[in-house]
Amino acid sequence: MTNPIIAEIEAAAAPSLIAVLQALQQFDAAMGNDPLQWPVKYPGAKLILAGTVMSQLPTLAQAEGGVVTSSLNSVYAGWITKLQSIGATATKPA
């Protein structure tokens, strides 16, 4: 059984992770198959890869932060409800 919170976190991260994987594919394509060209192509390809990955970090952080905040608020609400019910039963006369 999958934890629903983990599933939400994975779903929130998926678009950013897909973009990073696509950037890795583009890096490989930019480098090409000729090892003699790799020293010349590496700086530009690496710069594009790094820029793409770095541009995903704010999006990933925002998506993950939203999931974590929502999950924590659900947990807090459950605790509040439970404590309120305990408090209500404790104050009733026997």
pLDDT at residue number 22: 95
Per-residue pLDDT of the chain (94 residues; tens, 9 = 90+): 677 778 888 888 899 999 999 999 999 999 999 999 999 999 999 999 999 999 999 988 888 888 888 888 988 999 999 999 987 777 666 5
What CA–CA distance (Å, rounded) separates 93 from 24? 68
Distance CA 63, CA 16 (A): 9
The predicted structure's pLDDT at residue 93:
63
The residue type found at 23 is: A
In angstroms, rounded to a whole number, what is the distance separating the alpha carbons of residues 13 and 3?
16
- 37 — phi, psi (to 5°)? -90, -15
pTM higher than the cut 0.75 = no
What does the pLDDT read at residue 66? 87
